[in-house]
Amino acid sequence: MIVVASPGQGSQTPGFLAPWLELDGVADRLSAYSDAAEVDLIAHGTESDADTIRDTRIAQPLIVAASLIAAAQLSLRAGRRADGVAGHSVGELAALVGAEVIAADDAMRLVGIRGRAMADAAAHTPTGMSAVLGGDVDEVLALLDELELTPANYNVAGQIVAAGALPALAQLAERAPRGVRVMPLQVAGAFHTSYMAPAVDTLRAAVADIAANDPTVTLWSNRDGAVVDAGQDALDRIVTQVSSPVRWDLCMAAFTAAGITGFIEVAPAGALTGLAKRGLRGVPNVAVKTPDDLDAAVELLTGSSQNGALS
């Protein structure tokens, strides 16, 4: 079983879409995605600087669009889709497209709304997120609770992302237990916490007119690592995950339990394959950062699985 995963916010870098635009048809597809998301993806993916694409309104559509482009190119070249899909945070929208729960244009419309709603929610109170690396998990969680911070992401053993008010995050860095590193993340808000409650309401209204299909491949939810069998449940989880912690650790445990034989992260890749090297030891993985990485991903997708061929 081969899993294709889409990354979350913070994985974007200046100019990362440029090599994808050299492929036939990609410019037209990105133009359509730009219209749906109400964001100029081509300009921001090729010309904008790091501070500009850090803006949640821009970052989220960029990431989902890149994942959709890379996944489509992978399936086209391999002649088949993955056996399973998942996404970290906003990447779950791309996973829903990969599982044929919703159409790509609907995903891009939703991610545009999601990004704007989350940016608006973040503007109410200055907040942020920091990766907490190492240490005893109970000790770390106790300190977060004392500082009124939320564990927003459980990425892998020994890596939690804390979210909340900026002064509290500064205290976390100052009071980090021995052996713990605290690294501020390039995101502009306390995502996946109660600070995002207003965005949940906005997104719930936005999905009301979307007809969701049941997944056609295995789809894991980043809320709890569960396999989602019903399309409406998958869409509901897209709404509620905005203010709920991302449990990527449980996703990787579920991948292991399912006996996956390969892991492919689509653009803008790197973060999830890094986690996979720790949480999915022995499982071959490929990070599709540019079109040059597609050959290795195709080889893994076509050579290590025996089912799931495209019709």
* Long-range contacts, stretch 251-254, CB < 8 angstroms, 24+ apart: 251/86, 251/220, 251/221, 251/222, 251/225, 252/156, 252/225, 252/276, 252/279, 252/280, 253/225, 253/279, 254/220, 254/225, 254/226, 254/227
The CA distance from 232 to 230, in Å, is 6
192 is an active site residue: yes
Cα distance between residue 101 and residue 204, in whole Å: 16
The question of whether 11 is a catalytic residue gets the answer no
Structure tokens at 152: 């927003």
Count the neighbouring beta carbons within 10 Å of the beta carbon of residue 226.
16
**Which element (helix H / strand E) includes 174?**
helix 166-174
Residue 198: asked if its preceding bond is cis (omega within 30°), the reply is no
Catalytically annotated residue among 11, 34, 130, 192: 192
Of 246, 228, 248, which Cα lies nearest the Cα of 236? 228
Phi, psi (deg, nearest 5) at residue 50: -60, -40
The single residue of 89, 221, 244, 305 carrying the catalytic annotation is 89
Place of tokens 């990425």: 155
Any idea which residues carry the catalytic annotation? 89, 192
